Structures are given as structure tokens and as C-alpha cells.
Amino acid sequence: MPVEILNPDGLPANPAFAQGTVASGQRIVVVGGQNGVTADGTMADGLAAQTEQALRNVITVLDAAGATPADVARLGIYLVESADPREAYAAVGPVWGPHATAIVVLRVAGLARPDALIEIEALAAV
């Protein structure tokens, strides 16, 4: 079930994210933090490649639950402090598509896997 996007008057609008969302599905899908690692445990090289792989991993979990990016009410994105967020943002479109949702982006000192530059979690309603 697609998530309703909220961009109320008086707040800035952006095609990359929503100011809020309304999730009205019957099941909640919680996607744990995904980083740029492939099924064989190899970490993608560089922030853009890690972002693309992390999003593919999120989509794989969503698919296993019968959900799509259109069902996502919130994305949490954690970037290591040294990473350039513009590089991550540029990598989102080709994998995620035009599915704006509520997001939070946090700069962190590090992630559980030392070679990870980004980690992405999701909350969806289906």
C-alpha cells in the first residue's frame, strides 16, 4: 500500500524527500541497517557504490516482505563524518527511483563495520 506523502504549505518542498508521511498499511516492515556489502560479504568500493548496494539490500528485504520503495514511510541514513553526502545523494536515484519519503540523515563517527561509509534503515507499511 503506497505511503501518503506530506509536504504542507509553509515548508520547503524537495523532490528527493518528503516533510512527512502517513503509513496506513496493516503490517509494519522494519529493515535493519544495511550497508554496502554484497551477499558474499564483499564491501563495495567508495561511497557511491556503497550507497547503491545498501539501497539494493534495503529493496531486497522489502521485497521479501512483499513491499516496495513506495511503501517506505521513513529512511534513516547514517554517513561517516568523512563522507561527502553529495556523493551519496547522487547515487540514490538510479537504484531507489522517484520514491520520496521522510528521511533523516545523520553524520556519525563510524559504523559497526569499519570499512562501511554508509548505513541505511527503512520503515515501511504494507
pLDDT along the chain (126 residues), means of 10: 82 83 87 96 96 96 94 95 88 86 94 96 94
Look at residue 7 in the predicted model and tell me its pLDDT. Answer: 87
Look at residue 14 in the predicted model and tell me its pLDDT. Answer: 80
Neighbouring C-alpha atoms within 13 Å toward the C-beta of 98: 1
d(CA 9, CA 70): 23
What ranges do the domains of the chain cover? Answer: 4-125
For 99, counting Cβ atoms within 10 Å of its Cβ (0-12 exposed, 13-18 middle, 19+ buried), the class is middle
Look at residue 1 in the predicted model and tell me its pLDDT. Answer: 57
Look at residue 5 in the predicted model and tell me its pLDDT. Answer: 83
First to last CA, the chain: 5
CATH number, span 4-125: 3.30.1330.40
d(CA 122, CA 124): 6
